[in-house]
Amino acid sequence: MTNRGPVALVMAPHPDDEVLGAGGTIARMSAAGSDVHIGVVTRGTEPLFSEEANVRAKREAAAAHQVLGVAKTHFLEFPAAELDTIQHRELNRAIAELMRDVAPDVVFVPFPGDIHKDHQIVFESSLVAVRPTGGRVPESVYAYETLSETNWNAPYLTPSFAPNVWMDITEHLDTKLAAMKKYASQLKQFPNERSERSLRALAELRGSTVGVEAAEAFVLVRQIR
Peptide bond into 47 cis (omega under 30): yes
Q: What is the CATH number of the domain that holds 15?
A: 3.40.50.10320
Q: Is 71 contained in some domain? A: yes
Give the SS3 label for residue 158: coil
Q: Is 129 contained in some domain? A: yes
Residue 18: which domain range?
8-220
- The better pLDDT of the pair 225, 173 is held by 173
- CA–CA distance, 208 with 189 (Å, rounded to integer): 24
Q: Is 146 contained in some domain? A: yes
Nearest to 33 by CA among 62, 5, 70, 63: 5
Q: Quote the number of domains for the chain.
A: 1
Q: Is 206 contained in some domain? A: yes
Q: Is 134 contained in some domain? A: yes
pLDDT, tens digit (0-9, with 9 covering 90-100), for 84-110: 999 999 999 999 999 999 999 999 999
- CA–CA distance, 173 with 168 (Å, rounded to integer): 9
Q: Is 172 contained in some domain? A: yes
Distance of CA 2 to the CA centre of its chain: 27
pLDDT, tens digit (0-9, with 9 covering 90-100), for 17-47: 999 999 999 999 999 999 999 999 999 988 8
Q: Is 126 contained in some domain? A: yes
Please check the confidence at residue 1 and state whether its pLDDT lies above 60: no
Q: Is 209 contained in some domain? A: yes
Mean pLDDT to the nearest integer, 72-91: 96
Amino acid at 195: S
